[in-house]
Structure 1
Amino acid sequence: MTAPRGISEGRSGNAIWAVLPIKTLSAAKQRLSGQYAAAFRRRLALTMAEDVLSALTAVTSLAGVMVVTCDTEAAALARHHGVRILQPEADAGHTDAVMMAARVLADEGAEGMLTMPADIPLVTPDEIAQLIATRRPAPSFTIVPAHDRNGSNAILSTPPEVVPLAFGDNSFAEHCRRVRALGLEPRIVISPGFGLDIDHPADLERLMARRGNTATHRLLRAEAAAGQLPEATRQAAL
Structure 2
Amino acid sequence: MKIPSEGKSRLADVLDGSSRKSLIISLLERVLEASMHSSSCDVYVIGGGLEVADICRQIGAYWLNSDSGDLNLDVSAGIAEISQTRKGTIYLPGDLPFVTSEDINSVIDRSENGNFAVLVESESDGGTNCVLFPYQTKLIPLLGSDSYKRHCGYAVNHGILFESISPAGLLIDLDTVDDLKKCQRREKGFLENVGII
| TM exceeding 0.5 | yes
**Alignment partner, residue 39 of structure 1:** 18
Distance in 1 (CA, whole Å) between partners of 2:168 and 2:182 is 12
Q: How far off its partner does 1:206 sit?
A: 0.7
Distance in 1 (CA, whole Å) between partners of 2:31 and 2:136 is 20
Larger radius of gyration: 1
**Alignment partner, residue 219 of structure 1:** 194
Matches within 5 A, 1:191-230: 191-211=167-187, 218-219=193-194, 223=197
Q: How far off its partner does 1:105 sit?
A: 1.7
What is the aligned counterpart of 1:93 among 59, 70, 78? 70
What is the aligned counterpart of 1:105 among 68, 82, 99? 82
**2:98–2:170 Cα contact (<8 Å) kept:** yes
Matches within 5 A, 1:92-171: 92-106=69-83, 108-136=84-112, 140-148=116-124, 150-159=126-135, 161-171=137-147
Distance in 1 (CA, whole Å) between partners of 2:151 and 2:142 is 7
**1:69–1:85 Cα contact (<8 Å) kept:** yes
**Alignment partner, residue 60 of structure 2:** 82
Distance in 2 (CA, whole Å) between partners of 1:139 and 1:128 is 16
Aligned letter for 2:148?
F
Unaligned runs of 5+ in 1: 1-21, 224-238
Asked if residue 189 in structure 1 is aligned to residue 165 in structure 2, the reply is yes
Distance in 2 (CA, whole Å) between partners of 1:120 and 1:83 is 17
Identity of aligned pairs, percent?
Answer: 22
Distance in 2 (CA, whole Å) between partners of 1:187 and 1:213 is 35
Which TM-score applies when normalising by structure 2?
0.91
Which TM-score applies when normalising by structure 1?
0.76
Asked if residue 71 in structure 1 is aligned to residue 49 in structure 2, the reply is yes
Aligned letter for 1:68?
I
Q: What is the Cα-based RMSD across aligned positions, in Å?
A: 2.0
Distance in 2 (CA, whole Å) between partners of 1:110 and 1:92 is 27
Distance in 2 (CA, whole Å) between partners of 1:85 and 1:219 is 22
Instruction: Tell me: CA distance 1:113–1:213, structure 2 relative to 1, closer, same or farther (3 Å).
Output: farther
Once the two structures are superposed, residues 41-89 of structure 1 have per-residue CA deviations (whole angstroms, 9 ceiling, x without a partner) of 1111011001110111111x2111011114111111111101111112x
Instruction: Tell me: CA distance 1:132–1:138, structure 2 relative to 1, closer, same or farther (3 Å).
Output: closer
Aligned letter for 2:117?
F
Once the two structures are superposed, residues 4-47 of structure 1 have per-residue CA deviations (whole angstroms, 9 ceiling, x without a partner) of xxxxxxxxxxxxxxxxxx21112211111222211111111011
Aligned letter for 2:168?
P
Aligned letter for 1:181?
N
Aligned pair count?
A: 197
Unaligned runs of 5+ in 2: none
